Amino acid sequence: MPTKTRKSNRKGLPPGQVSTHRLLRWGKDHPAITSSIPKIDLKTYVLEADGEVENPLRLSWVDIIKFPKTESVSDFHCVEGWSVLGCRWEGVLFKHLADLVKPKETAKFVMFECADGYTTSLSLEELSRENVLLAYELNGKQLEEGLGFPLRLVVPDKYAYKSAMWITKITFMSKKELGYWEKRGYSDTADVWKNDRFAK
């Protein structure tokens, strides 16, 4: 199946960010994560999608890679001030998964749960934009373990704490619930173009 390409709206560096290279800022460990890197086996990996939906799903790795593949080139901005420009992500459009699970009228927000215990949430409307991916490749290679293997979210216009790595569960909700960093003082709206870093 041919890959569809969606170019993210790249408008240069947002306010307060400097450009870096992923590997340079990694150093020996990984300063962007809250715990250690989880080990995930593709043979037993399951992605659950449920909550306020007509058609809850439990997807295996084989199910996921059969979905239409989309490429999205976007810039990646951590709230601590570094950005990685021109990341070429490939994976499944979040919108594609949402269409499969059929959110009920009441579904307005979505919570992501990850294998390291991390959580983050976004509105269903923000997730339905055409540059939001459930990504499994970066720059032509399968995601490395430290970058979210096997499946991570990529939300280009939000600070990177919204781009959950190692996703295991996606819950559609009628009411907003805050994620890990959003409960600890970071902005829930997290708009990189508005320098919207901290909860008000």
Ligand X SMILES: Nc1nc2c(c(=O)[nH]1)N[C@H]1C(S)=C(S)[C@@H](COP(=O)(O)O)O[C@H]1N2
Interface residues toward ligand X, by CB under 6 A: 22, 32-34, 78, 114, 116, 118, 146-147, 160-161, 163-166
- Nearest of 191, 138, 189 to residue 11 by alpha carbon: 191
Pick from 22, 6, 29, 38: nearest CA to 164? 38
Cβ proximity to ligand X, 1 vs 23, nearer residue: 23
Is 72:193 a contact under the CB 8 Å cutoff?
Answer: no
Q: Which residues contact 186 (CB under 8 A, 6 or more apart)?
A: 79, 159, 161, 197, 198, 199
What is the C-alpha radius of gyration for the chain, rounded to an integer number of angstroms?
A: 16
- CA 24 to chain CA centroid, Å, is 22
Task: Give me the least distance between CB of 173 and ligand X, in Å please.
Answer: 19
Q: Shortest Cβ distance from residue 7 to ligand X (Å)?
A: 20
Tokens of 52: 């306020």
Smallest gap from residue 67 Cβ to ligand X (A):
21
Measured from the CB atom, is 160 or 164 closer to Mo ion? 160
Supply angle C-alpha 136, 139, 142, rounded to 5.
35
Identified binder of Mo ion from the candidate list 160, 165, 170, 192, rule CB under 5 A: 160
Residue nearest to Mo ion (CB): 78
By the rule CB under 5 A, 107 interacts with Mo ion: no
In the complex, least distance from residue 176 CB atom to ligand X, rounded to whole angstroms: 19
Of 8-16, 62-70, 126-134, 157-165, which part binds Mo ion (CB under 5 A)?
157-165
Size of the site for Mo ion (CB under 5 A): 3
- By a kind-dependent CB cut-off of 5 to 8 A, residue 151 interacts, out of ligand X, Mo ion, none, with none
Q: Is the dihedral of CA 175, 176, 179, 183 positive or negative?
A: negative
Q: What is the closest distance, in whole angstroms, from the C-beta atom of residue 40 to ligand X in the complex?
A: 11
Residue 32 as a binder of Mo ion (CB under 5 A): the answer is yes
Which residue, 181, 175, 183, is CA-closest to 158? 181
- In terms of CB distance, is 67 or 180 closer to Mo ion? 180
Q: Is 78 in the site for Mo ion (CB under 5 A)?
A: yes
**Interacting residues with Mo ion (CB under 5 A):** 32, 78, 160
